[in-house]
Amino acid sequence: MSVRNETTVELKPVTRICGDIQPPGSKSLTNRALIVASVASGSSRIEGALVSEDTEVMIESLRRAGVKIEVSGGGTILDVEPISIDQESSARQDAGTPVELFIANSGTSVRFLAAMLSVVGGHYRLSGVPRMHQRPIGDLVEALKPLVSGQIVAESEGGCPPVTIESSGWKGEATSVGGGVSSQYLSGLMMAGGAKMEATTICIDGELVSKPYVKMT
């Protein structure tokens, strides 16, 4: 004869649950905040940042471009010392050798950085994993060309990364971008344009998509 021990669990319904939770940060907000802080007129502290591959490659790329970023709080607090558009950083002194920036497969990073670095000025090459080199960026590159004093080129077929930038800043005052393409293009242009002392006009061709992300910017 065998004896089986059984454990009984009684489940009682509840009508109310109370508590506090801390959700993770937002990739979209974190990378936008990093770009803006990197070209601001003073130091910034970003709290509640997301720790992810996209934000990590953004931080590393900005550091290589000359931005000082201190990370604390397990990666959720970022103290940023901006790079001046008029500043001659070591990352921008050698016009013959581009600063290599690896952005993995981060779409926000490659698009926001391409716009920001073109207005900051210098010689850069943004590349990533093979999949990144299949993701379009041609519309943003074409929108930047009328603004950039120098050149910006999407190297892969179909207007995809790697992206090479040789720029001494923005000389143009107006450009246009399609409303039906990724809103990250417009967001990148808006944040880069905000770093200039002079006004920049961006015309939207067609109906604007992803309006909440543009409002976020």
pTM, two decimal places = 0.87
Q: What is the mean pLDDT of residues 35-46?
A: 96
pLDDT digits (tens, 9 = 90+) for 159-173: 999 999 999 999 988
- Residue owning tokens 């190297």: 155
Query: By three-state DSSP, how is residue 212 classified?
Result: helix
Q: Is the pLDDT of residue 18 over 70?
A: yes
- Name beta bridge partners: 175: 202
Q: What is the mean pLDDT of residues 190-203?
A: 91
pLDDT digits (tens, 9 = 90+) for 131-162: 999 999 999 999 999 999 999 999 999 999 99
Q: Is the pLDDT of residue 94 over 60?
A: no
Q: What is the mean pLDDT of residues 58-85?
A: 95
The percent of residues in the chain predicted with pLDDT above 90, rounded, is 76
Q: What is the mean pLDDT of residues 90-99?
A: 66
Query: How far apart, in Å, are the Cα atoms of 37 and each of 54, 59, 67, 108, 208?
Result: 17, 11, 9, 16, 26
In 3D, which of 200, 192, 194 has the Cα closest to residue 117?
192
Mean pLDDT for all residues in the chain: 91
Give the lowest-confidence range in 2-6, 27-31, 81-85.
2-6
Query: By three-state DSSP, how is residue 27 classified?
Result: helix
d(CA 120, CA 113): 10
d(CA 190, CA 93): 26
Q: Is 75 exposed, middle or buried (0-12, 13-18, 19+ CB in 10 A)?
A: middle
Q: 90: pLDDT confidence band, cut at 50, 70 and 90?
A: very low
